């Protein structure tokens, strides 16, 4: 069973360009979480999605950032008009769709390191 | 508000020495507690978790953690550290809001001296 996949692993963008980060959850998982890790800082929650639904986006910046998890295909975190402050590692995690709630562990992908020049 | 603190930003220990990483949480109800490890350039891997029952939890790689409700703590321990344990360690608490949410602490960076 393949783990959580993220691509690209490294992404370089110039200021003003768009960044698209992809996350394929583990097989059978329908819950996806995105986190951002700034240099020397911990993980900050960004958004929680289920298939075709955004459940909680309280950690997402109000502008330029969006996320989706379509019925088919990976979850996408999109950053428009990137700025240098967006440089960070972005991690995706997934968990299965059971009633266990917090008993279900989040499984993390290897992350995408975004560098904005 | 729910939160997790890890008082030690960075810890250095000698190989073979014992280790204790501190974690304190703030949450009104019974928490679900987790410890994750992140090796350089990698994602997070679950070390152990506590949901209920025995307050001493065993995890992978020889780690254990003890839940102490009176102190709102969930400290991670290992009796003898190996050089490969050098990594970033994150404590996390699961809370129930409108849905189940996991809140991470800021992390503790562990260095191991040969």
3-state SS, residue A86: helix
Distance of residue A92 Cα from the nearest chain B Cα, in angstroms? 9
> Which among A2, A5, A42, A89 is the top mutation candidate for probing chain B, defined by the most B β-carbons within 10 Å of its own β-carbon?
A42
pLDDT in tens, B15-34: 999 999 999 999 878 789 99
A109 DSSP assignment: -
pLDDT in tens, B68-84: 999 999 999 999 999 99
Query: Phi-psi category of A9—alpha, beta or left, where left has phi over 0 and alpha has psi -120 to 50?
Result: alpha
The predicted structure's pLDDT at residue B94: 87
pLDDT in tens, A54-101: 988 989 998 999 999 999 999 999 999 999 999 999 999 998 876 556
The predicted structure's pLDDT at residue B111: 96
Inform me whether the pLDDT recorded for A110 exceeds 60.
Answer: yes
> Which among B102, B104, B107, B109 is the top mutation candidate for probing chain A, defined by the most A β-carbons within 10 Å of its own β-carbon?
B102
Inform me whether the pLDDT recorded for A13 exceeds 90.
Answer: yes
- Percent of chain B past pLDDT 90, that is, above it, reads 72
The whole-angstrom separation of Cα B66 and Cα A14 is 46
The predicted structure's pLDDT at residue B13: 97
A41-51 burial string, b = 16+ CB within 10 Å, else e?
ebbebbbbbee
Give the residue carrying structure tokens 């996350």: A23
Q: Does B99 touch chain A (CB under 8 A)?
A: yes
Q: Given the DSSP bridges, would you call strands B108-113 and B10-14 parallel, antiparallel or unpaired?
A: parallel
CB contact under 8 A, A93 and B44: yes
The whole-angstrom separation of Cα A105 and Cα B96 is 15
B83 DSSP assignment: G
Q: Does A41 touch chain B (CB under 8 A)?
A: yes
Nearest CA in chain A to B35: A105
């Amino acid at each position: 069973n393949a783990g959580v996949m993220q691509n690209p692993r490294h992404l370089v963008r110039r200021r003003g360009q768009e960044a698209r980060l992809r996350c394929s959850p583990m097989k059978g998982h329908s819950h996806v979480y995105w986190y951002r890790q700034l240099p020397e800082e911990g993980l900050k929650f960004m958004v929680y999605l289920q298939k075709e639904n955004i459940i909680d986006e309280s950690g997402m910046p109000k502008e330029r950032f969006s996320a989706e998890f379509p019925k088919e295909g990976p979850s996408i975190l999109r950053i428009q008009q990137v700025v240098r402050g967006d440089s960070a590692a972005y991690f995706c995690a997934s968990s299965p769709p059971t009633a266990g709630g917090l008993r279900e562990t989040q499984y993390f992908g290897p992350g995408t390191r975004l560098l904005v020049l | 508000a729910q939160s997790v603190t890890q008082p030690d930003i960075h810890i250095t220990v000698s190989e073979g020495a014992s280790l204790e990483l501190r974690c304190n949480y703030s949450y009104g109800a019974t928490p679900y507690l987790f410890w994750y490890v992140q090796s350089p350039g990698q994602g997070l891997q679950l070390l152990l978790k506590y949901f209920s029952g025995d307050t001493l939890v065993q995890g992978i790689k020889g780690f254990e953690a003890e839940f102490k409700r009176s102190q709102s703590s969930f400290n991670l321990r290992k009796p003898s550290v190996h050089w490969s344990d050098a990594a970033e360690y994150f404590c996390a608490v699961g809370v129930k809001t409108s849905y189940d949410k996991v809140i991470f602490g800021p992390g503790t960076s562990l260095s191991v001296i040969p």
